[in-house]
Amino acid sequence: MTGLTKRGLLAGAAGIGAAAIIPSRRAAAQDMPAHERELYAAAQREGQLTWYTGQMQAEPSEAIGRAFTERYPGVRVNVVRSTSQVAFQRLSQDMRARVRQCDVFSSVDQSHLTFLKREGHLLEYRPRNAEGMLKVVRDLGDPDGLFQVTYLALYMLGRRTDRVSEAEAPKSWQDIIDPKWKDQLSVGHPGFSGAIGSWAVMMRKMYGVDYLRALERNKPQIGRSAADPVTVLNAGERTIGVGMPSATSLLSISRGNPLALIYPTDGTLMVPAPSGALKNAPNPNAAKLFMEYFTGPIYSQTVRQYFGESLRPEVPAPDGAKALDQFAAMTPTAEEVEKGIPEIREIWRDIFGV
């Protein structure tokens, strides 16, 4: 039904325009490895793919889509960005209604992908480019190669530099339940954000459910996305962000906002965020090509500009971020996430009321 949309017409017009610069396109195709060239040819016939993602914010997600189309002209990416839970909810609704919409699915919640794999919803395809990724990244992916870690999300504490000095700032997750931070905190919601779900699972594991109760007594302002605290801090509504995503925060800092990141001593939450192509993808070749793109260098170069971690050795870490081996990290296992998040959502709602 979208065949006659304005955008379709625009794309058609762009295609005509592109015909004038065919030599450069051919050059781009020539420097592709053979396996990519093959997929590219098949993907061009499909012309587009739909990517549900909850990994990066809207702006970088759009940039990732654009970079893909620049690299592989003629294959358009429909970027459907939302929080991971909402993205998964949409995918669930698709499946329940037996509608094929999504080609590639990306979430910050690893359990989404393990679930999809177990239920046989993932395309059996191991991207060749994955061999060139950092070992730590490679190891976090699916041993069978059905999904890959395409984003390493780091969640930590943040502060308003003009309101809270480095000295008085909390140093750890444990510090923020101190009553002196009452009405100062801002946090996302595990019902909307997979990262906050993972974080809450880890807090329960390390400090018990009482931790969340103590947090509740400090009356944090609850948003939806994990990135909400960035906005809330920028606005001056609160002074301490809990579970702030490093990439979004660094981006915001680079624009002159008075924020600083705090790597908690009891462990920065490192969430390997996986992506996989779907078995019933309406555009299977484009989906495979997108998996190659995810694991190749151009993707890492793109996300780096938005303060996403580089997945490959040849691309340096983003500006202002600590190298991966210079801070304490914690990562929940897939089972912890899959089992823990539904539980923690209920617990959270019972404690916080929403």
Residues that bind other proteins (CB under 8 A): 1-2, 5-7, 50, 52, 57-59, 62, 65-66, 77-83, 85-86, 88-90, 92-94, 96-99, 101-102, 189, 191-192, 221-225, 227-228, 230-232, 234-238, 255, 257, 345, 349-350, 352-354
* Rounded Cα gap, residues 341 and 336, in angstroms: 8
Q: Which is nearer to other proteins, 77 or 164 (CB)?
A: 77
CB of 340 to other proteins, least distance (A): 15
What is residue 274's three-state secondary structure?
A: strand
Q: Specify the amino acid at residue 248.
A: T
Q: Which is nearer to other proteins, 162 or 335 (CB)?
A: 162
One DSSP character per residue, 135-163 reads HHHHHHS-TTSSEEEEEEEEEEEEEETTT
Q: Which is nearer to other proteins, 161 or 221 (CB)?
A: 221
* Rounded Cα gap, residues 153 and 334, in angstroms: 15
Query: CA dist 108 to 42, 56, 166, 278, Å?
Result: 29, 9, 29, 17
CB of 316 to other proteins, least distance (A): 26
- Residues with Cβ within 8 Å of residue 244, at least 6 apart in sequence: 155, 156, 157, 158, 226, 227, 229, 230, 233, 261
CB of 288 to other proteins, least distance (A): 20
CB of 183 to other proteins, least distance (A): 9
Q: Which is nearer to other proteins, 198 or 310 (CB)?
A: 198
CB of 19 to other proteins, least distance (A): 22
Quote the tokens at residue 230: 């960035």
Q: Which is nearer to other proteins, 195 or 222 (CB)?
A: 222
